């Protein structure tokens, strides 16, 4: 709040100069400044300028908030540019940050193609990644819990030691994927292709497995918390148990 208290009129010089004769030069300078402050303090134009300054700040704040949606859209556009420009290339190329930013803003990542990307440790909980392609991408130690990866391509994807709890893998291609040591608790694998996948030491507690499309060549050595009947079914359908596989 602006303080418009008017300064007090300065003491007349005739009264002031006799108080401290030795300090008269200093008193004179101070007395002149007091008069200047008094004159400016009574100038209404300066008060108007103060009001205008406060009003301009208010206008700037209003415009900043009203333009918020445009800034978010611009940020999303730049993130998609990073992802699309690096499509088909190795390395990260800023895609990890871009994906995480879009997902944090609840933007659907349906159909995104980050094949061969280095995305180790990416955090995409609850991401909408249906029909996406992560083929040959490095997603070791990532967090994808609760993500929708239906109809996605995860062929040769490295998901070792990742959090894949409650992920929807329906109709997903997980052939040759490295899922060793990952947490797959509650994952849905209806119609998923697990041909030659590495499931060693994976936690399979509560998975939906009865409708898995293919498990031939999948390595289930050391699997943990597997549902009753899963291991026997997998071995009957071509899975293997090889703890020393590379």
How does DSSP classify residue 131? Answer: T
Tell me the three state secondary structure of residue 143.
Answer: strand
Residue 161 covered by a domain: yes
CATH number at residue 169: 2.160.20.80
Q: What is the pLDDT of residue 2?
A: 47
Which residues lie below 8 Å from residue 50, measured CB to CB, with a gap of 6+? Answer: 2
Backbone angles phi, psi at 224, to 5 degrees: -115, 145
Q: What is the pLDDT of residue 5?
A: 56
- Series of mean pLDDT values for 10-residue runs along the chain (246 residues): 57 60 63 66 59 65 61 86 84 90 95 95 97 96 98 98 98 98 98 98 97 98 97 97 84
Residues 49 and 74 reside in one and the same domain: no
Residues 29 and 82 reside in one and the same domain: no
Question: What is the spatial distance between Cα 37 and Cα 33, in angstroms, rounded to a whole number?
Answer: 6
Q: What is the pLDDT of residue 13?
A: 58
Please give the structure tokens belonging to residue 217. 């060549």
Residues 90 and 133 reside in one and the same domain: yes
How does DSSP classify residue 218? Answer: -
Helix orientation angle between 68-85 and 44-66, rounded to the nearest 10 degrees: 40
Q: What is the pLDDT of residue 216?
A: 98
Q: What is the pLDDT of residue 232?
A: 97
Q: What is the pLDDT of residue 92?
A: 80
Domain that holds residue 162: 70-241
Tally of residues, the chain: 246
Q: What is the pLDDT of residue 182?
A: 98
């Amino acid at each position: 709040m602006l303080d418009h208290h008017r300064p007090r009129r300065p003491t007349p010089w005739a009264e002031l100069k006799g108080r401290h004769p030795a300090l008269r030069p200093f008193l004179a300078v101070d007395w002149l400044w007091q008069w200047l402050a008094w004159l400016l303090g009574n100038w209404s134009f300066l008060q108007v300028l103060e009001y205008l300054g406060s009003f301009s700040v208010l206008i700037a704040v209003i415009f900043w908030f009203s333009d918020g949606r445009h800034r978010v859209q611009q940020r999303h556009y730049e993130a998609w540019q990073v992802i699309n420009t690096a499509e088909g290339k190795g390395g990260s190329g800023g895609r990890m940050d871009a994906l995480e930013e879009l997902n944090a803003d609840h933007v659907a990542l349906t159909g995104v193609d980050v094949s061969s990307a280095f995305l180790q440790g990416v955090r995409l909980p609850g991401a909408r990644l249906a029909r996406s392609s992560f083929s040959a991408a490095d997603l070791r130690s990532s967090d994808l819990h609760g993500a929708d990866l239906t109809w996605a391509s995860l062929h040769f994807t490295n998901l070792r030691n990742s959090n894949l709890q409650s992920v929807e893998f329906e109709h997903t291609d997980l052939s040759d994927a490295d899922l060793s040591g990952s947490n797959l608790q509650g994952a849905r694998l209806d119609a998923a292709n697990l041909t030659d996948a590495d499931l060693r030491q994976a936690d399979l507690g509560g998975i939906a497995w009865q409708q898995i499309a293919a498990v031939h060549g999948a390595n289930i050595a050391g699997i943990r918390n597997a549902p009753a009947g899963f291991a026997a079914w997998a071995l009957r359908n071509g899975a293997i148990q090889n703890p020393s596989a590379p």
